[in-house]
Amino acid sequence: MNKIYFDHNATTPVLGEVFDAMVPFLKDQWGNPSSIHWAGRGTRKAVEDARESVCRLLNCQNVELIFTSTGTEGDNHAIKGAAYANKNKGNHIITTRVEHPAVLNTCKHLAKEGFEVTYLDVDSDGLIDLDALKAAITPKTILITVMFANNETGVIFPIKEIGDIARERGVLFHTDAVQAAGKVLIDVQKLNVDLLTVSGHKIYGPKGVGALFVKRGVRLVPLIHGGHHERNRRGGTENVAGIAGFGKAAEIALRDMDKEIEHLKALKDRLEAGLGKIPHIKVNGHLEKRLPNTSNISFEFVEGESLLLNLDMKGIAASSGSACTSGSLEPSHVLVSMGLTHELSHGSVRFSLGKSNTVEEIDYLIEIMPPIVERMRSMSPLYAGAK
């Protein structure tokens, strides 16, 4: 059976070039980057070269980037770090209802500690109302955190506009750009963002490494206290191999971005045109303001988990929303926030495409999908009425 992977928003395979860049640091080059002797010099250089590459992807300076263990840690560091550093100024944080759990649950935790959190609603396109954002800002607001692109629907938020509003009102702005990196151009110089999170394994790098951009002059309370690593902002001996792999992945992401976007967009358009022939389906999220690789589709009268199992039996890996919530019976908080009924949310599948996907794979999906959907619907009493 052919294996087809349409779940790149959950994680991406490690590229060969990335693997090759990591190997020396799992083997012969084992020195501590903090050592001043010969054993540490090579690993220090590897960490700083990788920093340079990730900075180029974001267009920031080397002193503005902290390596973290994951995207989740980056989000935690940005949000808790900014909240604690500014608690004398205020206790109010603004976010959206559709953030990744790494942001939502961090905000929930802070709410238990006495911070106040406003969760902005999204419309049926999955976007927030900028006037509602402006109206939510109070003199006590210290942080706005809005994701760059949604992991479930691919919807891209107006980061520049939000940054402008935050800047004008003197509020820090964090964005979780884990899904955006490599799929849209990110230029922190042009965006007025103060804090921005990325993760290695979503851009064909290894798992267990991420980075947080911290604009020069922005103060954060560290999450992990320890030695003088990362300019005293994150203690702990660096994950050199992981960082080296992340650096290589960032270099490739920047180098191949235009080509990649074109490739992904063509495949996604083909997928949506093909599956669009199935009746009673809907593509979720704003049709234009969306990542080039993500297609979240609701199939009415179908149970998403069963659909995924049927696809899995044909070798196709897709997902129902975020990997972190699949397996739970809760409907996607993202789709419910966009106004979908629980039933329709449960009938939604996310196809997230990547580098190695081909036209043939998309055509295979388009071919096998209608009979699977039809068979599943034929078992639904509701469908008989709607037909």
Query: So which residues are the catalytic ones?
Result: 324
Of 102 and 171, which has the nearer Cβ to ligand PLP? 102
Q: Binding to ligand PLP by residue 176, rule CB under 6 A? A: yes
Please give the size of the binding site for ligand PLP, defined by CB under 6 A: 15
Contact predicate 374/13, CB 8 Å: no
Cα(70)–Cα(286) distance, rounded to whole angstroms? 28
Q: 2-14 burial string, b = 16+ CB within 10 Å, else e?
A: eebbbbbbbbbeb
- Binding to ligand PLP (CB under 6 A) within 130-149 occurs at 147
**Chain residue at closest Cβ approach to ligand PLP:** 71
Cα 39 versus chain centre, distance: 36
CB of 264 to ligand PLP, least distance (A): 16
Element (H, E) at 114: none
**Binding residue for ligand PLP, selected from 43, 95, 199, 239, defined by CB under 6 A:** 199
Stretch of residues binding ligand PLP (CB under 6 A), selected from 176-184, 248-256, 287-295, 371-379? 176-184
Task: Pull the structure tokens for residue 324.
Answer: 């972190």
How far lies 166's CA from each of 212, 305, 309, in Å? 19, 40, 44
How far lies 118's CA from each of 134, 146, 158, 162, 193, in Å? 12, 12, 18, 15, 19
Task: Pull the structure tokens for residue 286.
Answer: 């704003």
**Contact string 69-108 vs ligand PLP (x = CB under 6 A):** -xxx--x------------------------x-x------
Stretch of residues binding ligand PLP (CB under 6 A), selected from 36-44, 113-121, 195-203, 277-285? 195-203
CB of 322 to ligand PLP, least distance (A): 7
CB of 71 to ligand PLP, least distance (A): 3
Q: Binding to ligand PLP by residue 293, rule CB under 6 A? A: no
Q: Binding to ligand PLP by residue 285, rule CB under 6 A? A: no
What one-character-per-residue DSSP string does 163-190 give?
A: HHHHHHHT-EEEEE-TTTBTTB---HHH
Cα(1)–Cα(219) distance, rounded to whole angstroms? 53
Of 248 and 377, which has the nearer Cβ to ligand PLP? 248
Stated length of the chain: 387
CB of 357 to ligand PLP, least distance (A): 18
Q: Binding to ligand PLP by residue 12, rule CB under 6 A? A: no
Q: Binding to ligand PLP by residue 192, rule CB under 6 A? A: no
Task: Pull the structure tokens for residue 11.
Answer: 């994680």
Task: Pull the structure tokens for residue 222.
Answer: 């560290």
Contact predicate 93/117, CB 8 Å: yes
Task: Pull the structure tokens for residue 303.
Answer: 């149970």
CB of 346 to ligand PLP, least distance (A): 21
Q: Binding to ligand PLP by residue 151, rule CB under 6 A? A: yes
With H, G, I as helix, E, B as strand and everything else as coil, classify residue 118: strand
Q: Binding to ligand PLP by residue 18, rule CB under 6 A? A: no
Stretch of residues binding ligand PLP (CB under 6 A), selected from 30-38, 50-58, 67-75, 248-256? 67-75
Amino acid code (one letter) for 48: E
Q: Binding to ligand PLP by residue 51, rule CB under 6 A? A: no
Stretch of residues binding ligand PLP (CB under 6 A), selected from 19-27, 37-45, 196-204, 378-386? 196-204
Task: Pull the structure tokens for residue 173.
Answer: 């702005």
Of 72 and 337, which has the nearer Cβ to ligand PLP? 72
Binding stretches for ligand PLP (CB under 6 A): 70-72, 75, 100, 102, 147, 151, 176, 178-179, 199, 201-202, 210
